[in-house]
């Protein structure tokens, strides 16, 4: 078979075009990293205070959680679904102060807060002060997807969740012996300590275990979510930072996603999660520099305690805390994976 010069030229052009397209497609696929980072609360987490079994239990659940989120991302799922499902898994564990393991307020009830944010649209949903909702994060997602509101509170939020078919559980489901003992201990201390104002005592409580997740998906979209039972023995309908967009949770595709844990009042006062994003956007800080500045400068100088996880639009992960430890883990598309609990002499991220 004979080809004219024109035909040969055309075939050559076609060949060039398809190989360069393939190369481009490969580059795009290679260039878009995806990842998930989680925390399970910060606080007095010391190796000497934990038995080998406890360490194992935390390690196992943290690993299960990042694997779950990562699997969703790997299959092409959205970062929103990845953070929601990961948080759901952590809420179902009695080990964390969220969902099943939520702490008790001073009335002996479990009042929970949760929020979720989509970094692509800046849409957000949150619930605060809700009881008996098995997975508050699912109610938060529905607030975002099915209402024109961002934050629903108390009874109203529960009615909304009921109408949406969210699963409820009786009080007994949320009873965990350890959390109940903590409540009794704190209340006993409160009765015994004289000359202490209720507020100053409240600030001294260090019962964390809030859960948070941030994910970046294959489409470059970031999402963040946080869920908590708040502080043990909390009073007067106290709400912390976890359901407050910009304080406990923030996501913006232009910068990063953030989830906070710690004494919520300090994270609200500094709008901590949004502050991290702002430092990246306006001051060109890296994720690592931004989270360090907010935790070790802004929060610490106010006397606050806690930690944050950050995942930026390029897939960089950073975390920081000024407490003894923070349950934390991540998994990235480049194969990197880390599961940590205690303070490191030299933490690499």
Closest to ligand ASP by CB, 69 or 209: 209
Q: Which residue among 78, 86, 176, 210 is the active-site one?
A: 210
* Binding of residue 129 to ligand ASP (CB under 6 A): no
Looking at 262, 304, 315, 325, which residue binds ligand ASP (CB under 6 A)?
262
CB 257 within 8 A of CB 224: yes
Nearest approach, Cβ of 287 to ligand ASP (angstroms)? 20
Gap between the Cα atoms of 45 and 232, Å rounded: 17
300 as an active site residue: the answer is no
Give strand pairing partners of 133: 168
Residue 173: what are its φ and ψ, rounded to 5°?
A: -60, -35
Looking at 105, 217, 241, 312, which residue binds ligand ASP (CB under 6 A)?
241
Q: Select from 28-36, 228-236, 280-288, 312-320 the region that touches ligand ASP (CB under 6 A).
A: 228-236
Q: Which of residues 290-309 bind ligand ASP (CB under 6 A)?
A: none
Looking at 101, 129, 209, 315, which residue binds ligand ASP (CB under 6 A)?
209
* Binding of residue 208 to ligand ASP (CB under 6 A): yes
Looking at 115, 176, 233, 242, which residue binds ligand ASP (CB under 6 A)?
242
Tokens matching residue 40: 């399970």
Beta strands in the chain (DSSP E): 35-43, 112-118, 124-130, 151-153, 211-216, 222-228, 249-251, 256-262, 306-312, 317-321, 325-332, 337-342
DSSP assignment string, 94-111: TTSSSGGGPPP-TTS---
CA 313 to chain centre: 16
Tokens matching residue 192: 């015994």
Nearest approach, Cβ of 202 to ligand ASP (angstroms)? 10
Closest to ligand ASP by CB, 70 or 208: 208
* Binding of residue 115 to ligand ASP (CB under 6 A): no
CA 196 to chain centre: 34
CB 327 within 8 A of CB 45: yes
* Binding of residue 261 to ligand ASP (CB under 6 A): yes
Q: Select from 12-20, 118-126, 185-193, 224-232 the region that touches ligand ASP (CB under 6 A).
A: 224-232
Q: Answer positive or negative: Cα dihedral of 177, 180, 182, 187.
A: negative
Show the site string, 28-57: x = touches ligand ASP by CB under 6 A, - = not.
Answer: -------------x----------------
Using CB under 6 A, list all residues that contact ligand ASP. 41, 97, 208-210, 228, 230-231, 240-242, 261-264
Q: Point out the residues that are catalytic.
A: 210
């Amino acid at each position: 078979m004979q080809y004219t010069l024109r035909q040969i030229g055309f075939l050559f052009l076609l060949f060039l075009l398809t190989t360069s397209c393939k190369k481009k497609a490969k580059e795009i696929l290679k260039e878009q990293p995806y990842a998930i980072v989680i925390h399970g609360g910060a606080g007095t987490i010391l190796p000497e205070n934990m038995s080998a079994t406890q360490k194992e239990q935390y390690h196992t659940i943290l690993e299960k959680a990042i694997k779950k989120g990562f699997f969703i991302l790997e299959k092409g799922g959205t970062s929103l679904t990845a953070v929601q499902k990961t948080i759901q898994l952590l809420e179902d564990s009695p080990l964390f102060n969220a969902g099943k393991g939520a702490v008790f307020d001073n009335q002996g009830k479990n009042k929970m807060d949760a929020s979720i944010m989509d970094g692509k649209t800046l849409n957000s949903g949150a619930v605060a002060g809700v009881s008996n909702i098995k997975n508050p994060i699912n109610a938060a997602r529905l607030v975002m997807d099915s209402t024109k509101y961002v934050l629903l509170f108390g009874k109203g939020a529960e009615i909304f969740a009921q109408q949406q078919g969210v699963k409820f559980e009786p009080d007994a489901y949320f009873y965990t012996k350890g959390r109940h003992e903590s409540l009794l201990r704190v209340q006993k201390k409160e009765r015994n300590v004289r000359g202490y104002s209720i507020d100053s005592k409240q600030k001294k409580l260090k019962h964390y275990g809030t859960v948070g997740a941030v994910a970046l998906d294959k489409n470059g979209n970031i999402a963040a979510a946080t869920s908590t039972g708040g502080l043990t023995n909390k009073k007067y309908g106290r709400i912390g930072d976890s359901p407050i967009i910009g304080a406990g949770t923030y996501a913006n595709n232009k910068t990063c996603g953030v989830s906070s844990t710690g004494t919520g009042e300090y994270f609200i006062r500094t709008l901590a999660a949004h502050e991290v994003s702002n430092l990246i956007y306006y001051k060109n800080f890296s994720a690592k520099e931004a989270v360090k500045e907010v935790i070790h400068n802004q929060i610490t100088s106010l006397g606050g305690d806690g930690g944050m996880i950050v995942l930026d639009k390029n897939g960089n992960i950073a975390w920081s805390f000024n407490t003894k430890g923070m349950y934390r883990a991540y998994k990235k598309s480049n194969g990197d994976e880390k599961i940590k609990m205690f303070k490191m002499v030299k933490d690499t991220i």
